[in-house]
Amino acid sequence: MKRILFSIFILLVIALVGTGAYLGYRLFEGQAPQIIPQKVPTIIGKEASVSVKIIDKRAGIRTVWAKIVQGERQVDLEEKVLPIPNRWTGSPIKELAVTWQIRPRQSGLSSGKALLVIGAFDASLRNGSKGNEAILKIPVRIDYLPPIITVLSTIHNVRVGGAGAISFRVNEKVTDVGVRVDKTFFKAFKGPDDVYRALFSIPYNVFHPKTVQVEAVDIAGNKGISGFAYRVLPRRKKEDRINISDSFLQRKMPGFVSRFPEVAAPTLIETFIKVNHILRKKNNDFLLSLCSKTSGTVDFKGAFERFKGAKRADFADWRHYYYHGKEVDQAYHLGVDIASIAHARVPAANNGLVVFAGYNGIYGNTVVIDHGMGLQSLYAHLSQMAVTVGQRVEKGQTIGITGSTGLAGGDHLHFGMMLGGVFINPIEWWDRRWIRDHITYNLYLKK
């Protein structure tokens, strides 16, 4: 009997020791939570997002709070209070991600220095059951002032579908800067002389733009806007009639269906319409996306070399497609078609870096060369490609051989140019004087 009582006593002691150890480890522990910054800006504008992660592996997390202090003024952010089902077991939340949206201007704070204070309590019973507290203090600067833009170039005459250039300064660090033409934003690039330079365009289908301005967004998210003197020159509208023959459909459509099953249709002419709509848009979108793969420096020198041959189609021709005398479709022709001898050598129009060399739907075998600052040239319908992605090329270097791949009806070169996500008129870039007066002068402020 004594042995049994002794065993019970030992078990009770072990239980009490275990309970005490648990209470000490879980509920009366003295380790404060960890506050780990995830997204904490040091400069805050009209609105900002602050994110932290709170970790407490022992008692768990009970409360998270934050405030901004500026002089005598204190702005409390939303407090996060977590429910604790049983104080004796602590909080079940051991890790927590917290985000606050800060709008200091609405809270009456002014531009200048401030202090962001973030705190967290765990579910320990220490400190009169308040728990252990961790505090993180981060000095911040509140900034409501937009960047100041000073335009340096003076003459900006841009034809619809054509390009222009601009130079300007910004008085502070910025995250986004460039020229906006309605919905299209042309990125600017900063040079070693602290001057920003941008190439921009009036898109071929925007005859009367409502917005043409320089924009700059600083680190705090404030946007500065500056207008500048410009003149939009009209583009002569030209229409073209394209007759679609049965032999063309029989020769071309089966190949498109085999590569792109989504264009298959009950008849060949219906397949052509899907190719001309669905595939054309997909191919154009892909080409324009390549403009993001650009360098911030000007790689081209002087006029772009024109492929020798007879011009067969102009840039931005509005094409009407006819089948058996009936109009079946319309589309813009976004390049210049030039015909020479069959399988003619195609030179690079200027110095640059190959960013694409492959098959691209209606364009067939296509090479795209980046010339810097979002400017790119494309060479389509090639029978052969003589370059690879990542290869640097010089003006005049052979990059391929003409052909009739894609939607081409015969052997020719489709030469196009793109700028910042829009197709632009290539013809301007063949003119040395135009480049000097409209591009070089504005970029470098000298002839």
DSSP secondary structure of 223-269: EEEE----EEEP----EEEEEEPHHHHHHHHHHHHHH-GGG--SSHH
**Same structural domain, 323 and 379:** yes
* Residues 73, 398: Cα–Cα separation, whole Å: 69
Q: Is residue 432 part of a domain?
A: no
**Same structural domain, 171 and 294:** no
Q: With beta carbons less than 8 A apart as the criterion, state whether 244 and 269 touch.
A: yes
**Same structural domain, 107 and 171:** no
Handedness of CA 136, 137, 139, 142 (dihedral sign): positive
**Same structural domain, 229 and 248:** no
Domain-terminating residue out of 89, 120, 142? 142
**Same structural domain, 41 and 184:** no
Structural domain tally of the chain? 3
Q: Is residue 257 part of a domain?
A: yes
Which structural domain range is residue 309 located in? 239-423
**pTM (2 decimals)?**
0.86
**Same structural domain, 167 and 109:** no
Helix or strand holding residue 398 (H, E) = strand 398-402
Q: Is residue 447 part of a domain?
A: no
Q: Please list the residues that pair with 354 across neighbouring strands.
A: 369
pLDDT value at 10 more than 90: no
**Same structural domain, 182 and 116:** no
Model pLDDT, residue 22: 54
Q: Is residue 439 part of a domain?
A: no
Q: What is the percent of the chain where pLDDT is above 90?
A: 88
Domain-terminating residue out of 74, 107, 142? 142
Q: What CATH number has the domain bearing residue 201?
A: 2.60.40.10
pLDDT value at 446 more than 90: no
Tokens of 307: 């492929």
Q: What CATH number has the domain bearing residue 281?
A: 2.70.70.10
Which band of pLDDT confidence, cut at 50, 70 and 90, is reported for residue 12? low
pLDDT value at 194 more than 80: yes
Where is average pLDDT lowest: 114-128, 182-196, 253-267, 392-406?
114-128
Q: Is residue 398 part of a domain?
A: yes
Domain-terminating residue out of 233, 267, 291? 233
pLDDT digit string (tens) for 143-157? 999 999 999 999 999
Which band of pLDDT confidence, cut at 50, 70 and 90, is reported for residue 160? very high
Model pLDDT, residue 30: 84
**Same structural domain, 255 and 307:** yes
Give φ, ψ of 249 to 5 degrees: -60, -45
Q: Is residue 44 part of a domain?
A: yes
**Same structural domain, 332 and 227:** no
Model pLDDT, residue 11: 53
**Same structural domain, 319 and 251:** yes
pLDDT value at 111 more than 90: yes
Which band of pLDDT confidence, cut at 50, 70 and 90, is reported for residue 13? very low
**Same structural domain, 130 and 191:** no
Q: Is residue 91 part of a domain?
A: yes
126 versus 189: the higher-pLDDT residue is 189
CB atoms within 10 A of CB 240: 12
**Same structural domain, 157 and 99:** no
Q: What CATH number has the domain bearing residue 47?
A: 2.60.40.3880
Model pLDDT, residue 29: 82
Average pLDDT over residues 162-168: 98
Model pLDDT, residue 85: 83
